[in-house]
Amino acid sequence: MTEIATREHASANRTRPEVHHPEVSVLVTVVERPEPLDALYREYAAVLASCGRSYEFVFVAHPYFHEMLEPLLALEKGGEPVRTIESPRSIGETALLRRGLVEARGSIVITIPAYRQVQPTAIRALLAAVDGGVDLAVARRWPRLDSRVNRLQHLALHLTAGRLANGTLHDIACGVRAARREVLQDIPLYGDFARFLPLLAIYNGYNVAEVASEQHASDLSSRVYRPGVYVRRLIDILGLYFLLRFTEKPLRFFGLIGCVLAGAGGIALIVMFIQRLLGQPLGDRPLLLLAVLFATLGVQAIALGLVGEMIVHFNASRRRSYRIREPRAPGSESARNS
């Protein structure tokens, strides 16, 4: 009787889920050009194990990558610290990242794409940077060994979005990052802004540092996307530029555009008014319609900026626009919200 009770108690212990909080949570967003995910897990898990860190892997995937998750399900059943989350519909990378952050239990979160960009050993330096007091550590693929096409796209990205970092970041497109979990949870993410996470962290007052990492051999091939992809990214950069530079002062953005349009339209109208006084007819001149259009759009843009200023003014008391950083020892709490 005692032996049966002992066996039942042991069986209950095996079926009861253990509450385990690892040190590191690795979030893998399976969005584009994924490589075999089980091999990716083994490579990064081996590095974390060699560092003596407890870890877990959370794979968040779009529904059409269901078959690629099956090897991970087998690993999970075998006792590996792997969890898979399959989105019921196609959503963006940012939404997948937010979903993974909800499930992450580690105090440090590493984000990696579903394809190789740097050597897995780079996460040792990223973890060391976070342990040393950095809020967000970003891997920088250096030296760059990939094709000229990739380097040209990289240069174009940094000539536009890279200027928002004031020259402190050199590889915004690298998705291998490490941060404290509360830092990632505090940064507002929406749309397709996940790829600009370091810029948003800088804007929110966090300490961001790059770590030079050896580029992976599978990241060297040329990548050319559809025209629509480049158009969407250009729109995202424009939205990011407005968010980081003009959120607190929208009138400067809309007012500048409005003054240029209204000024051009007003000057044209004055010139045509003088010409009309001198006897020149205006009924068959398309410039008249264009000048009126410019003047009208200019006034509307200025009005839109004024409305934005009023909204910012009435919500200023509820907004947090800065962060106070206190002197601290390495590894201690990095910031205090104000």
| The pairing of beta strand 177-180 with beta strand 108-113 | antiparallel
Note the pLDDT of residue 331: 46
Query: Any alpha helices (H) in 78-221, and if so which ranges?
Result: 93-103, 122-131, 148-160, 181-186, 197-203
101 near 28, Cβ under 8 Å?
Answer: no
Note the pLDDT of residue 3: 42
| The pairing of beta strand 136-141 with beta strand 55-61 | unpaired
Residue 284 CA to residue 238 CA, distance in Å, equals: 38
Locate 292 and state its tokens: 């009126």
86 near 66, Cβ under 8 Å?
Answer: yes
Note the pLDDT of residue 10: 40
Note the pLDDT of residue 192: 86
Name which of 231, 197, 209 is nearest 97 in CA terms.
197
3-state secondary structure of 39: helix
Note the pLDDT of residue 4: 40
3-state secondary structure of 27: strand
Locate 125 and state its tokens: 């330096």
- Domain residue ranges of the chain, discontinuous segments joined by +: 22-244, 248-317
Note the pLDDT of residue 282: 83
Residue 7 CA to residue 20 CA, distance in Å, equals: 24
208 near 111, Cβ under 8 Å?
Answer: no
Q: Hey, CA dihedral for 250, 255, 258, 260, is it positive or negative? A: negative
What's the N-to-C CA distance of the chain in angstroms?
A: 63
Residues of the chain with pLDDT under 50: 1-19, 330-338
pTM of the model: 0.82
Residue 338 CA to residue 326 CA, distance in Å, equals: 12
57 near 82, Cβ under 8 Å?
Answer: yes
Residue 324 has phi, psi (to 5 degrees) of -95, 125
Residue 118 has phi, psi (to 5 degrees) of -130, 170
CATH superfamily, with its number, for domain 22-244: Spore Coat Polysaccharide Biosynthesis Protein SpsA; Chain A (3.90.550.10)
